[in-house]
Amino acid sequence: MRLLSVACLFVFCIGYGSAAAQQKSSNPVAGPECSPGWHPTSSMSVARQNATATLLPDGTVLVVAGGDGTNIHASAEIYDPSLGSWITTGSLRDPRYLHTATLLNDGRVLVVGGMNERLLASAEIYDPATGNWTETASLEVARATHAAQALQDGRVLVAGGGGNRQIFSSAEIYDPVKGTWASAGSLTNARFASVAFLLPEGNVLIAGRGCTEPGECEV
């Protein structure tokens, strides 16, 4: 299977009545008319799978790490939808894939865990103002394919995940003010490749469960 560095842009017209016909796209790759559907845009600098993509406060998109089947990347790049182009930015210390990337309240991005030749507990923070990464405290438990969700108070919950044929039920919370992790109890069921959603009252819903053996999953 050949991995692609090609990206696609989805443009969708919104509006009512004749106003919808007048809606324009500001993105040059989509053309002057707002045409619903997929439109090819410029390619990333390298092909990636199992990378993360995070929408930054200024409307650009940060894509981080991942692999291409041969190499595991530490590189990151930013897509500017107003220009339809990519620019490279600072690289992680640790190449990784199957990690998470979470936007913090101050506009920085927290990248956690994942894998390269080994399971990772390390975490790094990207600052869009400088384009640089800084190391922060590591997870108590190295993990990949975990769920991560920013909480209303600005902390980040990381739960589940796995690696080395283990599945975890433990959870941890990162405090970006202190730069530290603390235990957050354990899930009822160990799980990986799940998703996390912040509910209106501030609770977090963890849904889905990966499986490692045929017949192991339940609905």
DSSP state letters, 155-212: -EEEE--EETTEE--EEEEEETTTTEEEEEEE-SS--SS-EEEE-TTS-EEEE----S
Give the tokens for residue 83: 């220009």
Confidence at residue 13, expressed as pLDDT on a 0 to 100 scale: 42
Confidence at residue 29, expressed as pLDDT on a 0 to 100 scale: 52
Confidence at residue 109, expressed as pLDDT on a 0 to 100 scale: 98
Question: pLDDT 10s per residue in the chain (219 long)?
Answer: 555 555 555 544 443 333 333 333 445 554 555 567 787 889 999 999 999 999 999 999 999 999 999 999 999 999 999 999 999 999 999 999 999 999 999 999 999 999 999 999 999 999 999 999 999 999 999 999 999 999 999 999 999 999 988 999 999 999 999 999 999 999 999 999 999 999 999 999 999 887 655 555 443
Asked if 211 contacts 199 with a C-beta cutoff of 8 angstroms, the reply is no
CATH of domain 91-207: 2.120.10.80
Query: Residues with Cβ < 8 Å from 178, sequence gap 6 or more?
Result: none
pTM across the whole model: 0.85
Confidence at residue 164, expressed as pLDDT on a 0 to 100 scale: 87
Query: Residues with Cβ < 8 Å from 139, sequence gap 6 or more?
Result: 112, 113, 121, 122, 123, 158, 172, 181
Confidence at residue 14, expressed as pLDDT on a 0 to 100 scale: 42
Confidence at residue 210, expressed as pLDDT on a 0 to 100 scale: 73
Confidence at residue 2, expressed as pLDDT on a 0 to 100 scale: 57
Asked if 67 contacts 48 with a C-beta cutoff of 8 angstroms, the reply is yes
Within 10 angstroms of residue 160's Cβ, the number of other Cβ atoms is 27
Nearest CA to 56 out of 74, 76, 37 is that of: 76
Confidence at residue 11, expressed as pLDDT on a 0 to 100 scale: 43
Task: Give 56's Cβ-side CA count (13 Å radius).
Answer: 20
Give the tokens for residue 151: 């909480």
Domain locations in the chain as residue ranges: 1-43, 91-207
Bridge partners (DSSP) of residue 40 are 8
